[in-house]
Each structure stands twice: as C-alpha cells, then as structure tokens.
Amino acid sequence: MPKPIYVLSGPNLNLLGTREPEIYGHQTLEDVRKACEARAASLGREVVFRQSNHEGELIDWIQEARDKASALVINPAGYGHTSIAILDALKAAGVPVVECHLSNPAAREPFRRRTYVALAATGVVSGFGLASYELAVEAAAGLTR
Ligand code: CA2
C-alpha cells in the first residue's frame, strides 16, 4: 500500500457541528474523520487525520508529510487566507496538495476569496460540506496511485 494521505484541518474546525451549522453543517469533525477513512479504505488507501488550532503544529505536520505521506489534503481554515508560512511549508513538502473547504469561500466575504494555500495546491474542492473532504481524499489518491 502507498504511504498514507495526510488530512489536516486548521483552526476552529474542532468546533464543527456545534456552531454556525447554516454555513458548516451539523456534522462533527469526528464524522469527517470517519468519512475520510471510509473513502480512503474504499480506494485501498489510509489517511492520517489531524486538526490543530496552532499554525506551527500544522507546519510541523506538513514537514513530517515529506517523508511519511504520499499526498496532503488540507483545510487550512482561516490560515489559508493569511499564512505565507503554511504556503512555504506546502511548497517544500514535495507531495501533491489538495486544498479543501466545507463552505465555498468564493461566495462569502471578499477577504475569503483568496487563499495562499491554493498557490501550492494541485486543486481545490470547496462548498460540499463533509463531501469536500471525501472528494479531496479521492483526488489525492488519484494523484498518487
Ligand atoms: O469552509 C471552510 O472549510 C473554511 O476553511 C472554514 C474556515 C473559514 O475561515 C474559511 O474561510 C473557510 C473557518 C473554520 C471555522 O470552523 C468553525 C466550525 C464550526 C463553528 C465555528 C467555526
């Protein structure tokens, strides 16, 4: 089996399912984890699923992915719109990157229209709720068959 697909989620996504369900849905991050694991298993793959509220911890995991992962799926949350450090880490990771978002940031406030992460991503999946993660895992698996 190829190396696992790292699925990383950024700040505040631990709150999923508890607030703003009209934007982010009713499902929890644990539901998202299970869905990603199931989609990966259906493709003969594994995921390493992690969430952090800390930029440096996300960067440590992105650096770790260079040796331990075949591809990276990342929902950078708010950091996508602000973090050049995460962009730099992704560019150095040496594995394909798929960016995903639960909502469609392009249809929201103007400050969400650009993400730095997209500059390092092969593609972006946005607006499908939990399915954005499943589709991103599938895309990442397809990039690293
Ligand atoms: O749509 C997405 O997945 C976002 O990455 C979510 C970020 C937002 O800053 C991006 O523009 C788009 C926010 C994550 C906050 O997650 C929460 C979940 C439940 C309750 C409160 C916040």
Coil, helix or strand at residue 20? coil
Q: What is the CATH number of the domain that holds 42?
A: 3.40.50.9100
Give, rounded to a whole angstrom, the gap between the first and last alpha carbons of the chain: 10
Residue 101 catalytic?
yes
Span 57-74, mean pLDDT?
Answer: 98
Indicate the top mutation candidate among 15, 20, 24, 125 to test ligand 1's pocket, ranked by most ligand atoms within 8 A of CB. Answer: 24
- What is the Å distance from ligand 1's center to 77 Cα? 5
Minimum CA distance residue for ligand 1 atom 19: 16
| Predicted model pTM | 0.97
The residue range of the domain holding 86 is: 5-143
In total, how many domains does the chain have? 1
Strands (E) across 64-103 are located at 71-75, 97-101
Segment 68-99, tens digit of pLDDT: 999 999 999 999 999 999 999 999 999 999 99
